Amino acid sequence: MLLDTPVCDFGWKAPDFDLMDPDGVHHRMSDHLGDKGLLVAFICNHCPYVQAIADRLAADTAALLADGIGVLAVMSNDYSLVSADSPPRMKQFAERHGFPFPYLVDEGQAVGRAWGAVCTPDFFGLNAAGELQYRGRLDDRGMGDAGNRTPELLNAMRQVATTGKGPTRQVPSMGCSIKWSG
């Protein structure tokens, strides 16, 4: 089911979390939230919207990390319902696309629910205080669009890093609904 993310709730305070990557290494959100902010991306492996942007996401987040902006990705789907999103496949997906950030398993889906994640991809751009400043698209291109693009997420996170505030105009992300357990 195709869904759009809600409009950015500027200043919403992101709840901290501690999740593991597929190798069992713990990552606490607050440990990745630096003085230039943090991007938390809710993604999964099987969604065609995520597949279409995976390489661009890897490139843009590598640039953000080089700028000192933290990046984490969270997979909140119930992978007992969608085996393509299982932790071993998450690891393969991350390696195939060269993800430079930790890709974390939200086993009990508590993080996705607490954050109000709606779809994959769903991007949450936080300032250094952990306040939401961006909730929009990766860029202005659609799936399969081979033309030039405006890197909305990259530009927005750089603005958040320098000013603490996100752009007032944001285009909601869209993608597959998160697969919640019973």
- pLDDT value, residue 1: 66
Q: Can you give the pTM of this predicted structure?
A: 0.95
Taking 70 as the pLDDT cut, the residues of the chain under it are 1, 141-148
- pLDDT value, residue 146: 54
- Determine the number of helices (DSSP H) and then strands (DSSP E) in the chain: 5, 10
Percent of the chain whose predicted confidence (pLDDT) is above 70:
95
- pLDDT value, residue 5: 82
The CATH topology of domain 2-177 is Glutaredoxin (3.40.30)
- pLDDT value, residue 88: 98
- pLDDT value, residue 147: 59
Q: Decide: 175 and 49 in contact? Cβ < 8 Å.
A: yes
* Element spanning 154, H or E: helix 152-163
- pLDDT value, residue 161: 98
Instruction: Quote the CA–CA distance of 117 and 41 in Å, as a whole number.
Output: 9
73 forms bridges with which residues in the sheet?
A: 41, 103
Q: What is the pLDDT of residues 121-158, one digit of tens each?
A: 999 999 999 999 999 999 876 555 555 677 899 999 99
